[in-house]
Chain A
Amino acid sequence: MSVATAASPALAARRHSHSLARQRRWALRGSYAALGVFVVMFLAPPFYMLVTSLKTSAEISEQRTSPWLVAHPTLRNFLDLIANDHYRMFFFNSVKVTVCVVAVSMVISVLGAFALARMRFFGSSVLATGIFLTYLIPDSLLFIPFFRIVGSLGLINNAWVLLLIYPTLAVPFCTWIMIGYFASIPKELDEAALIDGASWLQILWRVFIPVAMPGIIAATIFAFTVSWGQFIYPLAYLYSADQMVLTVGIVSDLIRGDVFEWGKIMAGSLMAAAPPVVIYAFLMDYYIAGLTAGATKG
C-alpha cells in the first residue's frame, strides 16, 4: 500500500479507519466461515439420508467406496415405496389424521383465545394461565393413562384415536399464541364494530380473524408439525399396518428381522419429512413467528 507510507495526520486517520474496516471485514468473514461449518454439521445427517436413499442395496453394502457419495444414483427406492400399498396407507393415514386435528384444534383454540383475550369473564385469567401450564405437561407423562382410557373406549389400534389425543398437543400452545395476537389488536376496532351492532361471533369472524391472519397461519403450522411428527402415541396405540401413520409405519414395515432396507427407510423418511419441510420453505417467516411467539408474546 503506497498510501500507508505517507505520514500526514489526515492520512493517518484514514489509515486508522481503513484498518478498522479491514478488521470488520475479517470479522465478517470469520462469522461466515463459522456459520458455514455449522451448516455443514447440521445438514450432514439429512444429506447422508438423501445419499443413502439414492443407492441400491448392493451399493449400500459395498464398503470400499465412500458412503458419503453415490456412484449410480437410482430412484428405485422412492418408486418402490410409492407403489407400496402399506406406505401409501401410512401416508394417507397421516394426512387424514393431521388435517382433521389441525381443523379441530384451530377452531377450539381460536374461539377460546378470542374469549380469553377480549371478553373477560369470571376466572378467565386463571384459565389462560392454566392453559399455558397444560402445554408443559408432556406426552410421555400422559401416554400411560391414555392407554387405559383408549382401551376402555375400545379405540386401541384405530387411527381415529389420534384425532382424540393430538389436539391436547396442539391446542394449548395455539391458544397461547392466539391470545397474544388477539390482545395486540386495538380495542377501538371491536368497540366500533360493537356500536355498529355486530355480534361477538361476527366481530371474531369479520375483524379478528382477518387482522390476526399471521398468527393463525403460525398456529396452524405449529398444529400441523406437531401432529405430523408425533411418535409416542401412535407407537403405543396402533399396531396393524392399515392403521399406522408414517412416523411409526416406516420402521415397522421396512425392518424384517435382521434385514434393514436402509435405502428404503431413508427414502421413506425423506418423503415423510417433505410436507413439513416444504411448508417451512414457503412460510418460513410465519414458522419462526410461531416459534418465538410462545416466549415473546402473550
Chain B
Amino acid sequence: MRRWLHRRSTVAFLMCLPLILLIGGLVVYPALYAIWLSLLNKRMTHFVGLSNFAFLLRRSTFHLVIFQSCLFAISAVIAKALIGFILAHLMHAIPSGRQRIWRGLLLIPWVVPLALSTLGWWWLFDPSYSAFNWLLARVGIGPVPWLGATGWARFSMILVNTWYGAPFFMIMYLAALKSVPEQLFEAAAIDGAGAWGKLRYVTLPMMRNIISITVLFSLIVTFADFTIVRILTNGGPRDTTHIFATYAFEVGIASGDVPLGASVSLFMLPILAIASFLILRGVTRRDREMAAA
C-alpha cells in the first residue's frame, strides 16, 4: 500500500485529481447537460428531440440573431486583426527602449474590465448627451443615433469590440514580429525586396501560424461575447441586434425557457468546434516545428 502510494503515476494522478474533477464536473458535465436540456420541452417534463432547434430556425428573429452574430464576429475580428497588425508594425519601427511606454498606454483598453469600460462607451453613445455627437456637431454633422438605429447600433458594437480587442492582437503580433530573425529582412533587402516584398515574403510567412491562432482564438471569444451587446443595446432596437449569447440569456434566464435558451447557445457549438480544431492543429504543428528546429 505504501509503495503504491509512492509510485510516480499514483502521485501524478492524485495531483491531477482536483483538475480532473473541476474540468469533468464543472465544464464537461454542464456542456453535456446543456445538450440534454436543449432536447426537453419548456417545462422540462419530457423529451422533445430537436424540435427546439426546428422552432428557432423557423423564427425570423432568430434568423436575425444568426446574421447579427456572424456580422459582429467576422467584422470585429477583421478590424481587430488589421489594426493590431498596423500597431505591431508601428511599434516595431520605434526603438525598443521607447516601446514600453507606448505599449503600456495602448494596452489599457484590454486591461480595464470590459463590463466597466462598456459603461463608459454606453455613456459616450447616450442619445441626448453623446460626447461624440458634440464633436461631430462642431464639424457640422447632425446627431448620430449610435444605439437607436439598427445599423448604427451594429456599428457601435463592432467599434467597442474592436477597441477592446485590438491591443491583444498588437501584443501577439509584436511578439511574433520580434521572433523573426533580422537576417531574413537583410537577405530580402539584398535581393531587392521593398517594404511590400518584405511583408509579403518574410513577415507574413513567418507570422502565419501566430496570426491564424490569434484570429481563431479571437473568433471564438468574439462569437461568444455577451457583455458589449447586453450593456449597449440588450438586443434593441426591436430585437435586431441580439447575438447568440444575449438572445440565449433573454430566452433562457429572463423569460425562463431554459431548454430554448440552451438550444440558442448551442448554435455556437459548430463554429466553436471548427475553430478549436484548427487552433489545436496550429499549436501542435508549431510544436513539431519547434521540436525539429
Hey, which bits of chain A sit against chain B, CB under 8 A? Answer: 27-28, 31-32, 34-35, 38-39, 41-43, 45-46, 48-49, 52, 60-61, 63, 66-68, 107-109, 111-112, 114-116, 119-122, 124, 127, 129-134, 136-149, 164-165, 167-168, 171-172, 175, 200-201, 225, 228-229, 231-232, 235-236, 246-248, 250-251, 262, 265-266, 269-270, 272-273, 276-277, 280-281, 284, 287-288, 291-292, 294-296, 298
Contact = CB atoms under 8 A, between A and B. Distances in A.
Contact of B134 (A67, A137, A280): A67
A38 B9 CA distance: 52
A247 B106 contact: no
B171 A147 contact: no
Interface string B270-293: 001001100110010001000000
Nearest to A194: B8
Interface stretch (B47-55, B58-66, B144-152, B245-253): B245-253
B136 interface: no
B235 interface: no
B249 A136 contact: no
B184 interface: no
A29 B187 CA distance: 26
Contacts of A61: 129
B226 A232 contact: yes
A247 B15 contact: no
A168 B131 CA distance: 39
A273 B110 CA distance: 11
Interface string B77-109: 000000100110011011000001011111111
Given A200-B11, A272-B116, A141 B16 contact: no
B15 to A, nearest CB: 4
B28 interface: yes
B56 interface: no
Residue in B20, B221, B269 whose Cβ sees the most chain A Cβ within 10 Å: B20
28 contacts: A31-B90, A35-B90, A49-B119, A49-B120, A60-B129, A111-B18, A112-B15, A112-B20, A115-B15, A121-B13, A134-B27, A136-B279, A138-B221, A138-B223, A140-B268, A141-B265, A142-B27, A142-B30, A144-B34, A144-B261, A200-B15, A201-B11, A229-B114, A232-B230, A251-B231, A273-B113, A288-B171, A294-B217
Contacts of B111: 225, 276-277, 280, 287
The 6 closest A-B CB pairs, nearest first, are A229-B113, A138-B224, A112-B19, A140-B245, A119-B12, A115-B15
B271 to A, nearest CB: 11
Given A140-B268, A141-B265, A262-B129, 7 more contacts: A45-B120, A48-B124, A139-B226, A145-B34, A149-B30, A247-B116, A266-B120
B168 A291 contact: yes
A95 B288 CA distance: 42
B124 A108 contact: no
B18 A112 contact: yes
B206 interface: no
Interface of B: 8-9, 11-13, 15-16, 18-20, 22-23, 26-28, 30-31, 33-34, 37, 83, 86-87, 90-91, 93-94, 100, 102-109, 111-117, 119-121, 123-124, 126, 129, 131, 134-135, 163, 166-168, 171-172, 175, 210, 213-214, 217, 220-221, 223-227, 230-231, 244-245, 248-249, 252-253, 258, 261-262, 265-266, 268-269, 272, 275-276, 279-280, 283, 287
A292 B217 contact: no
Contacts of A115: 11-13, 15-16
Contacts of A265: 119, 123
Contacts of A131: 19, 23
A238 to B, nearest CB: 12
B119 A66 contact: no
B19 A262 contact: no
Nearest to B272: A136
A236 B131 contact: no
A210 B111 CA distance: 27
Nearest to B224: A138
A45 B124 contact: yes
Contacts of A228: 113
A119 B14 CA distance: 11
A35 B166 CA distance: 13
Contact of A296 (B168, B175, B265): B175
Contact of B26 (A41, A129, A165, A294): A165
A130 B27 CA distance: 11
Given A168-B26, A288-B171, A291-B168, A276 B112 contact: yes
Given A43-B105, A232-B227, A277-B108, A108 B258 contact: no
